[in-house]
Amino acid sequence: MNATIVIVDANREDADSVELFLKNENYGIHKCETAEEALRRIDSVKPDLAIIDVMLPEIDGFSLLRQIRQTYYFPIIMLSERDQEIDKITGLALGADDYVTKPFRPLELVARVKAQLRRSTTYSQEPQQEGDRIAFAGLQLNKASHECVLNGTLLTLTPTEFSILWILCENRGQVVSSERLFQEVWGEKYYSHNTNTVMVHIRNLREKMDDPAENPAYIKTVRGVGYKIER
């Protein structure tokens, strides 16, 4: 079995549809209809990825996402019928790795799941070479263990945050465009509205690294172009 996935959606028809397509890829599926049920299931099965609908009864998907991120850092894809940029930004700011608007093409969701799992499992493989580690100016990245240590403190990064930071560090001293970051991290064609997606994850990284945009020690914005690390 390739991976274990938890689907949290109060709409049984939607959940069944997602389950059908993911089972065709030989994933192990656990379905939940409420946030409370999802938290119990996640603690029990320790999934590789979760798909969470924003509109859940009693406790909404954003609140569930916030609770999960207090303990777990596996990839999370949010689903929503609301095609509003503020909802997407909210989900990404709370630690989601991707955001998909309903109705969606099932095969597109499967592709996004595969991309997130591929990125996540990359960091659980045994190191093959010195290139699996980066260290400079108090920052240490270990690609195999998915660990980021900054000035002796272990930072808890999501797979997406780690991927962005790794790319910036690999290209230290060079500007990496938002377009390139999006295409390399998400593996999809870049459109202008994807700028906010990259921006929110950069903001999350800066907060965790205590690296304010106004006076950054590490991640610097090159206005109209992208981001760079030059220390």
- Local confidence band at 127 (pLDDT 50, 70, 90 cut-offs): very low
136-187 per-position pLDDT tens digit: 889 999 988 888 999 889 998 888 899 999 999 999 999 999 899 988 888 7
Residue, of 193 and 137, whose pLDDT is higher: 137
64-94 per-position pLDDT tens digit: 999 999 899 899 999 988 777 788 888 888 8
Q: Which of 14, 107, 96 is nearest to 49 (CA)?
A: 96
Distance CA 157, CA 163 (A): 9
DSSP 60-106: -HHHHHHHHTTT--S-EEEEES---HHHHHHHHHTT-SEEEESS--H
pLDDT of residue 105: 87
Which domains does the chain possess?
Answer: 4-122 (3.40.50.2300), 130-229 (1.10.10.10)
Asked whether the CA dihedral 180, 157, 199, 91 is positive or negative, the reply is positive
Task: Give the pTM.
Answer: 0.70
- Local confidence band at 52 (pLDDT 50, 70, 90 cut-offs): very high
3-state secondary structure 131-197: HHEEEECCEEEECCCCEEEECCEEECCCHHHHHHHHHHHHCCCCCEEHHHHHHHHHCCCCCHHHHHH
pLDDT of residue 126: 42
- The percentage of the chain sitting over the pLDDT mark of 70, rounded to a whole number, equals 93
